[in-house]
Structure 1
Amino acid sequence: AEIDDDRGWLQSPAFSDQILAGLIVVDHLPPKIIDRIRKLDVPTIWLDANVWEPYNCIRRDEKQAGEVAAHYLIQQGATTIVWLGSPSSRHFSLPLRFQGVSHACRTNAIPCIEMKLDYAHHESVTRAWEDAITELMQHHPKPAIAAYDSYYAQRFITLAGFLGYRAGKDYHIVTCDGTQMLHSIIPELPAVPFPRQDMGRLAAEKLLSILPSHRASPPAGKFPSILIPATMA
């Protein structure tokens, strides 16, 4: 979750009263919260988080997700790939997905164009998107686009549609982060699935296995970190 004010977290009874038996930390958190979590001295699993250590971490291979997305576009005949994403992000996945896309482009001698746009729903941002889409379509007929996530893919498809461009007909697009919501809206959109439910279930199982009453094999309270392969749907 995105947190701008961490005072409420630091004052939570979960921290002050030490009532937690274990903890699953998801996504990115402010450094103060991460430091406080480490001081709790309870079994902690970092799930899709900005923490990656030899033990107790679970995340998808985000670089591989970018490579898979790019290879899909290459198989569709792409001669140039456009990376569509944010100029910056607090989440670790943004640079890794871009690394994957750019690596696939380099190994296949295909140019990679960066299209970095803010996501905020402001009129000026929307105009910037429309201008960028118009320029892209004018200079690169039927471009192949690798979108950072489902939100970027959906926004491109929506705004391109307003401008008269259709996916499949005027451009190809794939997202590095497929979601059930996006699939229900645009079922035909190619995506590298993100197995959120499976990862959550795995994190819960692993946490139970390292709680004090379930301590087993080595080392107690720990399990080797897991990097989940990314595959195309």
Structure 2
Amino acid sequence: MNKLASRKDVARLAGVSEATVSRVFNNISPLREQTKQKVLQAAKELNYHPNVIAQNFAKGKSNNIGVIVPYLPKVNLLSTHYFSELVSGIGARLGELGYGLLLIFQRPDERKDYVQLFHSQRVDGCIILGARHNQNELEAIEKLHQLKLPYCLINQAFSEQHFHFIDADHVDGSYQATTALLEKGFQQVLFLNGPLEFSNSLDRLEGYNKALRQKGISLNEALIFEGNYSRKSGYKAGDKISTLLTKSKAILSANDRMAIGLMQKLNELGFHAGKDYAIIGYDNSEIAKMTTPSLSSVNVPLYEMGQLAAEKVLQSITHDINEQIMIKLSVSLIERESSLHVH
């Protein structure tokens, strides 16, 4: 096997110092054009390729964007529609623009220090998924924001802060779904929501309440249940929900995974979706089309949200832009068998 050419070999052949070779490949001026061409010619003859990692380190760049996702033991989050769509969108856009994606898993109870990711030269920017509304998280994001470091939150907006975020209009999503159920003649809608430390759970609650108000229906706390966005939590909620389920009631679930777990449990208890009750999920995951009956769901453009977050973070790096990122994408209700044919 031929020995790989080194910077020293290029310097010797071009008749210049190693420092000059470095300056050519790191594009550091001033350099005489004649000298530059001699170095490039020597590099070509020797088939020399500079160490990109070393180059980026010298420039203080890694060409990696950190994507921070929650780590939950025994839960493969990246197999879920929600996280896989977001990460795929981010990765696709970064790849097109010549950047790499560095996945960073963090336990929800771990002390957050996003600034440290930049100090350790591991990332040039970061995108945060699954941020929670608590003091530690707020302080860590506030530091990023104050230092004007390139970052973006996805699907979590802190209304009282001016953090950068890409979100979807979840108020409108749950409003559309609840309204659709009420307009089918159901007098009440049971609501299986996610934890209220996530802004999208609060938004869905707001949209649900807005739809009820418009129909002159008072909010009834006894009809609201909380899961943790897992299929298991939907299954678990089935016992309580079954005691309130009648022909006059329908169900809205804050994501498809909980809806599917809930449908499974209710089926075991003798309640059949699309026949005995109507149910609408959220996120429009691939599996929503495959359930029996197929699950109505609110479509959220997760892949596009990921792409947009990557684009905005890279813009702030490459163009040194520090404009406020506050974007909400629209959502739409997709009706299927689970809410169409109840009689």
Smaller-chain TM-score bracket? 0.7 to 0.9
The one of 171, 175, 178 aligned to 2:281: 175
Question: 2:249 corresponds to which residue?
Answer: 143
Distance verdict in 2 for CA 1:38–1:11, change over 3 Å: closer
Alpha-carbon distance, 1:198 to partner:
0.9
Does 2:329 correspond to 1:228? Answer: yes
Q: Which amino acid aligns with 1:222?
A: E
Question: 2:213 corresponds to which residue?
Answer: 106
Does 2:189 correspond to 1:92? Answer: no
Q: Is the CA contact (8 Å cut-off) linking 1:28 and 1:50 kept in structure 2?
A: no
Does 2:238 correspond to 1:129? Answer: yes
Q: Is the CA contact (8 Å cut-off) linking 2:175 and 2:208 kept in structure 1?
A: yes
Deviations 1:92-141 (A, max 9, x none): 1112101111111111123554231445858xx83x631x233113xx32
Distance verdict in 2 for CA 1:184–1:209, change over 3 Å: farther
Looking at structure 2, the residues matched to 143 and 51 of structure 1 have their Cα atoms a distance apart, in angstroms, of: 33
Does 2:168 correspond to 1:74? Answer: no
The one of 215, 224, 240 aligned to 1:115: 224
Looking at structure 2, the residues matched to 102 and 110 of structure 1 have their Cα atoms a distance apart, in angstroms, of: 9
Q: Rg bigger for which structure?
A: 2
Identical positions, percent: 22
Q: Is the CA contact (8 Å cut-off) linking 2:274 and 2:293 kept in structure 1?
A: no
Distance verdict in 2 for CA 1:146–1:111, change over 3 Å: farther
Looking at structure 1, the residues matched to 140 and 287 of structure 2 have their Cα atoms a distance apart, in angstroms, of: 30
Alpha-carbon distance, 1:69 to partner:
0.9
Q: What TM-score does the superposition give when structure 1 sets the normalisation length?
A: 0.79
Alpha-carbon distance, 1:91 to partner:
1.0
Does 2:208 correspond to 1:208? Answer: no
Q: Which amino acid aligns with 2:202?
A: P
What secondary structure is seen at the aligned counterpart in 1 of 2:333? coil
Question: 2:300 corresponds to which residue?
Answer: 194
Alpha-carbon distance, 1:222 to partner:
1.7
The one of 104, 128, 139 aligned to 1:25: 128
Deviations 1:58-90 (A, max 9, x none): 10111111101112212322222222225x432
Q: Which amino acid aligns with 2:117?
A: A
Question: 2:108 corresponds to which residue?
Answer: 4
Alpha-carbon distance, 1:15 to partner:
4.2
What secondary structure is seen at the aligned counterpart in 1 of 2:322? coil
Distance verdict in 2 for CA 1:76–1:51, change over 3 Å: same
Distance verdict in 2 for CA 1:93–1:191, change over 3 Å: same
What secondary structure is seen at the aligned counterpart in 1 of 2:279? strand
What secondary structure is seen at the aligned counterpart in 2 of 1:226? strand
What secondary structure is seen at the aligned counterpart in 1 of 2:332? coil
What secondary structure is seen at the aligned counterpart in 2 of 1:65? helix
Looking at structure 2, the residues matched to 42 and 225 of structure 1 have their Cα atoms a distance apart, in angstroms, of: 16
What secondary structure is seen at the aligned counterpart in 1 of 2:275? coil
Question: 2:28 corresponds to which residue?
Answer: none
Query: Aligned Cα RMSD in Å?
Result: 2.9
Distance verdict in 2 for CA 1:180–1:36, change over 3 Å: farther
What secondary structure is seen at the aligned counterpart in 2 of 1:78? coil
Q: Is the CA contact (8 Å cut-off) linking 2:114 and 2:141 kept in structure 1?
A: no
Deviations 1:144-170 (A, max 9, x none): 111122222112111100011111110
What secondary structure is seen at the aligned counterpart in 2 of 1:232? strand
Q: Is the CA contact (8 Å cut-off) linking 2:301 and 2:331 kept in structure 1?
A: no
Q: What TM-score does the superposition give when structure 2 sets the normalisation length?
A: 0.56
Higher relative contact order (CA 8 A, sep 6+): 1
Does 2:265 correspond to 1:164? Answer: no
Looking at structure 1, the residues matched to 325 and 117 of structure 2 have their Cα atoms a distance apart, in angstroms, of: 26
Q: Which amino acid aligns with 1:26?
A: L
Looking at structure 1, the residues matched to 291 and 242 of structure 2 have their Cα atoms a distance apart, in angstroms, of: 24
Question: 2:85 corresponds to which residue?
Answer: none
